[in-house]
DNA sequence: GGGCTGACTGACG
DNA sequence: ACGTCAGCCAGCC
């Protein structure tokens, strides 16, 4: 896989995230084969154009993108999917962080 | 064809 | 706890 670049792999992984769960940029990057390619993932999400549930991809600290209108949309979508939020306004990663299974990754 | 930028992360001072 | 530095890949000038 990844013949089209890490890009395709990232989309593939992001699409595997089930409804009501979330994953971090770094997590997806690591799965995609990148050790510190979180930026690539973030950029991929920006360019996804809705092709993948980018709203399920958040920062490692449970927060959304620092300052963007997208943050509001993301939070709203996550709430609709049943993702829990902490008092600080961050995602309850302990409950909603996606735990990728080997079976799911084998489809990559 | 070279260099900068970006929805990030983790380590260091 | 906060600011800075370096590392990854693809797209744009």
Strand C close to A7 by CB, under 7 A: yes
Residue A2 has pLDDT above 70, yes or no: no
Q: Does pTM surpass 0.75? A: yes
Cα separation, A85 vs A79, whole angstroms: 8
- Nearest Cα to A56, choosing from A79, A23, A15? A23
The string over A74-97, giving b where at least 16 C-beta atoms fall within 10 Å of a residue's C-beta and e elsewhere, is bbeebeebebeeeeeeebebeebb
pLDDT for the residue A1: 55
Structure-token pair, residue A106: 């084998």
Residue A96 CA and nucleotide B2 C1' are separated, in Å, by: 43
Distance of CA A15 to the CA centre of its chain: 9
Query: Strand, helix or coil at A85?
Result: strand
pLDDT in tens, A44-91: 999 888 889 999 999 999 999 876 788 899 999 999 999 999 988 899
Q: For residues A17 and A23, is the Cβ–Cβ distance under 8 A?
A: yes
Residue A96 (CA) to nucleotide B9 (C1'), in angstroms, measures 20
């Amino acid at each position: 896989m990844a013949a089209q670049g890490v890009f395709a792999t990232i989309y593939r992984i992001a699409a595997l995230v089930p409804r009501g769960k979330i994953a971090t940029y770094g997590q997806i990057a690591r799965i995609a084969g990148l050790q510190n390619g979180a930026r690539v993932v973030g950029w991929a999400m920006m360019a996804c154009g809705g092709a993948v549930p980018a709203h399920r991809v958040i920062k490692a600290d449970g927060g959304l993108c620092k300052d963007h209108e997208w943050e509001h949309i993301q939070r709203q979508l996550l709430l609709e999917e049943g993702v829990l939020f902490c008092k600080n306004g961050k995602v309850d990663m302990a409950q909603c962080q996606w735990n990728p299974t080997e079976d799911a990754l084998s489809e990559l």
